[in-house]
Structure 1
Amino acid sequence: MKGLLYLPRLFKSKSDQDRLIMTILCRNEIDIIESNIRTHAVLGVDGFVVMDNGSTDGTREKLEQLKTEFDLMVIDETGVYQQAKWMKRLMYLARDKMGASWVISNDADEFWIPKEGTSLKEHLSHSDSVVTVKRSNVLLTEDVLKDDYHFSKARYCVEYPICYDKQAELEGAHTAMFFANISPKVIVNPYGFIKISGGNHRAKHIAKTFTARNEHNIRVFHYPIRSWKQFEANIKHRQTLLKYPKARMGDHYRRWVKLYEQGMLKEEFERFVLKENQIQVFEQYGIIKDIHLNDVIFSKSNKFIR
């Protein structure tokens, strides 16, 4: 049955009726959710399916406002976080209710940026089953300590990651987690779709063996930590999730929860902030690069930052 959905579309020509839909799981993302939706709408996303998992910071209300401007469906889910299960549900909603030709299963802190001057859809075809896209962490500099800082002003991302082992991620006192290698993300054709991994790093598709590929003209920029306030709130939430026996979470989050419980989380945050002399060294060796995204990502004022 899954093959019958995909095969008729295999040689279909692209048209203006094709729709790229983005699904997002979010909880308390008031500092970034509007920028995420506005930016991707400009870059070729035609509609959004957003699941809100019990936000209390104004995120849910902001989504209601955005519904008046964008083709945006909001789903409320108050249950215990189940990323893979919920993403699969959103995939089918994107296909069946929003008419998706392709689906990006996104997180609120990730921005899918195509090659300059192009739309995301320009780099997709109906024959695509699973398209894998490289992802890079965006770094904090001393600007984050300023009162008027907005995450879109971040200048640098990791170009070549540092390969820490898992034990270092959990226990290393000098581990710089922003520099660790992170998994890519995928864009999926919902016709023939079978399953998506919890973090949207991989997907199963009926035609994956034959038509899966990598796309180098799109890069995902990941903004995992955007301020001290946001970081602290995130780790408090992770602490709550770890109370559930079956909770699945990266080792670095477990380490940060432990530091929070020891009253040492602020010191960890301060270690993330790159000093000017550190930036010069990392640039010299090509480990980081200037991403020039402050003219691409929408700011709080709903205008591009120039």
Structure 2
Amino acid sequence: MSAKQQLGAVKRRTEQWWRPDERVVRTRVAEGLVLPALPPRGRSSGLNGTGSVWAVTMVKNEADIIATTLRHLLEQEVDGILVADNGSTDDTRVIIEDLASSAPVFLADDREPAFFQGQKMTRLSHWARRAGAAWVIPFDADELWFAKSQTVGAFLRQSPASIVRASIFNVAPLGTGARVGDDAGWVMGRQASWWKKVAFRPHPFMAVAMGNHEVDRPGRPVDGLGIAHLPYRSLAQMASKLRAGAASLSDIPGSSGLHWRDLGSLSDEDLRQVWSDLLAGDAGERVQWLPEGDLEPVDVFSWSSWGSDVPLYAQEAVTTR
């Protein structure tokens, strides 16, 4: 990376640091996000001494999928996972603690109710940097990350890039009987979402953007990873997710999270209709993160690498014609 890029990142972060609104949010996040002690460097040195890959996330009430997601990341040769629990009222925290007893999973307490996602994920990413991370994957509990023909960890360790983008493919249940982990009952849209997520090499002046779609740090992004995204898994889960999302945005001014604010305010009856429309493929534009393009039956829970013939990025689409 050039000296100009380095200076640009420093300048942006310094300007942001001193903004009054940013300072208020940063203080609230620092006071509310209680991080665990850093692990000994020997536990985060990376597989085969090739540099460690860490994943970080913030979760709330994801008991139906969090164990699947964390185990998947460990199978993808991620060296450590930092999970910030935002006051879950289901079994999410118990599940994380159980995994942490036998795997390199670390639990943070997120006591700040507002959805300051960018600032929180930035703080978690800096913890991973201090733990010795050579790469950071900021993920959500409903995301399964993949690389083509190898694990995500192996892909990142051999990548010369500073930022790797991940294409998002939305997955939805075919009916009310589908459960997380089932080998049938799920379909994936064969068209990637317009949005992407990023994994990146940590940097002292990095800042993760809202939604984990971008990171401000020197370096040009490259493509290479894919995500099977499962945002809606049952009526109860969808209603809980939407209402919790709306509540966490109530303290945040502006138009961010309009999707959550809109659907999270619906009555139980209206949400049942949204769920029915979703299963029928007739949810419309009001519901975001639905499968796009032709639908492909998938068993994403058994994939060890990207298991579809859908290209992960444009260059691959050209070379595989």
TM-score of the pair, normalised by structure 1? 0.73
Matched, 1:196 2:202: no
Q: Which amino acid letter does the alignment assign opposite residue 128 of structure 2?
A: A
SS at structure 1 position matched to 2:62? coil
- How far does residue 61 in structure 1 lie from its aligned partner after superposition? 1.6
Counterpart residue number, 2:155: 123
- How far does residue 274 in structure 1 lie from its aligned partner after superposition? 4.0
Number of matched pairs = 248
Structure 1 residues 126, 141: CA separation in 2 closer, same or farther (over 3 Å shift)? closer
Which residue, 114, 119, 129 being the options, matches 1:95? 129
Structure 1 residues 92, 198: CA separation in 2 closer, same or farther (over 3 Å shift)? same
Structure 1 residues 30, 115: CA separation in 2 closer, same or farther (over 3 Å shift)? same
- How far does residue 292 in structure 1 lie from its aligned partner after superposition? 3.2
Q: Which amino acid letter does the alignment assign opposite residue 223 of structure 2?
A: N
- How far does residue 248 in structure 1 lie from its aligned partner after superposition? 5.7
Alpha-carbon distance between aligned partners in 1 of 2:280 and 2:300, rounded to the nearest angstrom: 18
Q: Which amino acid letter does the alignment assign opposite residue 93 of structure 1?
A: W
- How far does residue 106 in structure 1 lie from its aligned partner after superposition? 0.5
- How far does residue 15 in structure 1 lie from its aligned partner after superposition? 5.2
- How far does residue 288 in structure 1 lie from its aligned partner after superposition? 2.1
Residue identity (%)? 25
SS at structure 2 position matched to 1:101? strand
Matched, 1:291 2:298: yes
Q: Which amino acid letter does the alignment assign opposite residue 253 of structure 1?
A: W
- How far does residue 182 in structure 1 lie from its aligned partner after superposition? 4.4
Counterpart residue number, 1:278: none
Counterpart residue number, 1:159: 190
- How far does residue 40 in structure 1 lie from its aligned partner after superposition? 1.1
Q: 1:96-123: per-residue Cα shift (whole Å, max 9, x none)?
A: 12x211000000010102224x111222
Q: How does 1:51-130 map to 2 (within 5 A)?
A: 51-79=84-112, 80-97=114-131, 99-116=132-149, 118-124=150-156, 125=158, 127-130=160-163
Structure 1 residues 126, 289: CA separation in 2 closer, same or farther (over 3 Å shift)? closer
Which residue, 267, 270, 273 being the options, matches 2:279? 273
Structure 1, unaligned stretches of length 5 or more?
A: 5-13, 162-180, 276-284, 298-306
Structure 2, unaligned stretches of length 5 or more?
A: 8-46, 282-291, 305-321
Q: Which amino acid letter does the alignment assign opposite residue 239 of structure 2?
A: E
Structure 1 residues 273, 128: CA separation in 2 closer, same or farther (over 3 Å shift)? same
Counterpart residue number, 1:185: 197
Which residue, 220, 229, 233 being the options, matches 2:227? 220
Deviates further, 62-71 or 234-243: 234-243
Q: Which amino acid letter does the alignment assign opposite residue 189 of structure 1?
A: R
Equivalent residues of 1:241, 1:247 under 8 A apart = no
- How far does residue 193 in structure 1 lie from its aligned partner after superposition? 5.1
Equivalent residues of 2:119, 2:207 under 8 A apart = no
Counterpart residue number, 1:237: 244
RMSD: 2.6
Q: Which amino acid letter does the alignment assign opposite residue 142 of structure 2?
A: D
Q: Which amino acid letter does the alignment assign opposite residue 122 of structure 1?
A: A
SS at structure 2 position matched to 1:28? coil
Alpha-carbon distance between aligned partners in 2 of 1:39 and 1:238, rounded to the nearest angstrom: 25
Equivalent residues of 2:172, 2:233 under 8 A apart = no
Q: Which amino acid letter does the alignment assign opposite residue 250 of structure 2?
A: K
Q: 1:185-218: per-residue Cα shift (whole Å, max 9, x none)?
A: 1011003652111111011112x24xx2111xx3
Q: 1:219-274: per-residue Cα shift (whole Å, max 9, x none)?
A: 1011101111101111221332343252664333233124x248411001011114
| Greater relative contact order (Cα < 8 A, sep 6+) | 1
Equivalent residues of 1:87, 1:196 under 8 A apart = yes
SS at structure 2 position matched to 1:159? strand
Matched, 1:138 2:171: yes
Which residue, 20, 39, 47 being the options, matches 2:80? 47
Counterpart residue number, 1:279: none
